[in-house]
Structure 1
Amino acid sequence: MRRAQIQKFQTRMRQLRKELRAKETAEQLAADRTKIIERLDALTSDDSASKDIDFFRIDVGDGEEAKETHRTLSTAEMLAEKKPQEWLFPNLLTKNEPAVIVGPSKTLKSSLAVDLCAALATGGKFLGEFAAEKVFRVGFVGADNKQSQLTDLAVRWSAAREENPTLDNLQWFMAVEEPAAPENLESLREWIEKFELEVVVIDPLRLGSTNKRKQAEAIQTLVKTISNAGATPILCVQTRKEMKPGKLDASILAGSLDFAQQWLLVNRRETFQSGSGQHKLWLSIGGYAGQGGEWGVDIDEGKLTDEGGRRWNVRLREATEIEAAAKQAKEDVKFEKLESQLRRVLLDAGENGLCKYNIRSNSGMSGSKFGPTWDRMMTAGKIVEMPKEPHSTLKRYTLPPENEKNETGRSSRRVRCADHEPAQQA
């Protein structure tokens, strides 16, 4: 009995709460209706109001003006608002669109960033190939403890140019703490506005938080600060994981870097040999403006012990050229192994040589491998035909004399070529 009374009481309470909420909602709607009528009256009674007013915004919740959540445009209006595309480097990097330079650790991102900034600041060529649209006012935001390294890069970049240009249009902001920190954004904005910078490169992008959501928010705030100050932001970002040599694709931008509207992706093409000063990289670019491409970048930095010290020599190569050379090198390695098998067979045969049938049989090769290898060696003169012997219709082959030097102690016994060659008479 007591349980039934409790359930009945709870049901009544829920009903009362529901009626109360309905009453409050009705009162709020009535109040909002009154506000709407008052605003309409004010608009219609104001003679100075524009006769072309098409809409106005009100907030029926708390009475404050709401933020505009969207715009509607016709196709004609969209086309009318379309602005001409402005470029930093034609068909490579656009102006006023955030960009990133992304790659694993120790892939010369900082060096490439300095090369890019110097080219923009002088109207020169990025990587010796991509000419800047014009001379820009550029800012480089770097870590304070990297000043010596950045200075060396700037000096070597200028020395590599025949005209040895000065970098008067390149300003430096050496940050002790992370530039993206909220307390540093104001200083960064003031610096950009003071020098009226058009491009700002940040290397490296350091974030205090390890939370991915907070990192994304910090990056977006940093990009917005730079853009609102009138500059194109370019951020150098290290991938979270180390990667094997090879091309990178835009899928690595997913997540906190999806704000980027254009990108330069850098990775090693070959493993770096310590102390060589030689770097072989892949560079892939892309962007919303439709730009895209892949190149090999060969960089010669030299050694400290070289005459004149280290340098900055860059050569850009087409990806198709590199891939064709790599394919050919792979083929050469394969054929070199097969050729060595045929050389061993002919060396064992000695001065009497062998017919083609026995060469293939003794090599143990399949026809698909023997045929191309044989043709390759014959064309290159690595196998030669021997003079025909009396009473023999078969052709015998041997190695040219230079391939038989120092090959003493090999068997020189006569080998019959299958059953097709008659044995010599005593």
Structure 2
Amino acid sequence: MPIAIKMPALSPTMEEGTLAKWLVKVGDKVAAGDIMAEIETDKATMEFEAVDEGTIAHIQVAEGSEGVKVGTIIATLAEDGEDIGDVEPMGDGGSTPAPKAAEEKLAKKEETATPAPSPTPAASSPAPSSGERIIASPLARRIADDKGVDLTSLKGSGPRGRIVKADVENAKSAPAASDSKAAATPAPSAAPAAAAIEAQDFGIPHEKEKLSGMRKTIARRLTESKQQVPHIYLTVDIRLDEMLKLRSQLNAALEPQGVKLSVNDLLIKALAKALVAVPSCNVQFAGDQLLKFSRADISVAVSIDGGLITPIVKDAGAKAISAISTEMKDLAGRARDGKLKPEEYQGGTASLSNMGMYGIKQFEAVINPPQAMIMAIGAGEKRPYIVDDALQIATVMSATGSFDHRAIDGADGAQLMKVFKELVEAPLGLIA
């Protein structure tokens, strides 16, 4: 009996994804555990393993297809002993572009079929009512997209009224029903938002780049954060000289082990210890509840091609700085390769974002829901600074905490910033 291969849910929150690449083809035999495809989620590209044995009989979703819903049948597997020629593709296959080979096969079948009467012109054939599903072959859909033909204006000549290649080609010179309507109806005075945005190019040469799944998710989540989360921002200036001195000493001691600590590694540890010391800030707002966490899992912002991802250092307050450093190098490397597992970037009790390496003096980061705080780190720079009641030159950085005011009061946020500052300026407490 054929087996339906469905779009997997590669994380608890995944609703759709991009079928980035097929690693098998029709006729290939697969066994449980074999890698069949690469699936791109909003955060990473992950490998999809077979769970059954058999032969690939049909591939119903082409590689590169975006917005494939979880549970959509993407291929059909013939069980051992079944002839793939006798296996019909499972699912209707009408809503997702078919692979090129399948399109060619379908086109050949349509071309050799008994010619059907010419389709009734759009004006005399009823278009599907709003919300009604259009039944059309994948090839017909592709040709319609290329030619700009409105499928709702066509009457299909295939089985059960299915729109086929000939229907679209015969209609390609006819104006679509929507075009006729547009010509007869004056344009509204207020253009839709998308059209208004398009009108702002002022005739300047430009190109359009389609948003990736990751960029769409970033846009949606950060918009929701700024609209729904009342942010409060608290900034402190922190002297770095003692931390830089400690880092140099630790690196000299760790050099034989091949470990080299960054300032960010120490700041991750400092934020984690500060959250444990001020538990009123290690929380999340959850409707009519407040979630209070017993450990600090720090999400660390990492810039990657096309977006941003936040791998998590779990229980960072209890880990040695050398362990944090080794873990972060591994996480950041796999983040840039798109190889993180969902549990490695989903969750976290607070975030840290460091833009000091870009020379940014100070900034206010957007909270990453459902977390209730994020620490934004600016560049360490030589500044006039009062040390022991005397004006001196010190290495100083500005750190800004963004807090969800629904969950964290200003006084509690100020206490966290105070403890964070003390840990960085007297860093021996990080290795105690």
The TM-score, its normalising length taken from structure 2, stands at 0.24
Select the structure that is richer in strand: 2
The TM-score, its normalising length taken from structure 1, stands at 0.24
Select the structure that is richer in helix: 1
Q: Which has the higher contact order (CA 8 A, sep 6+)?
A: 2
Larger radius of gyration: 1
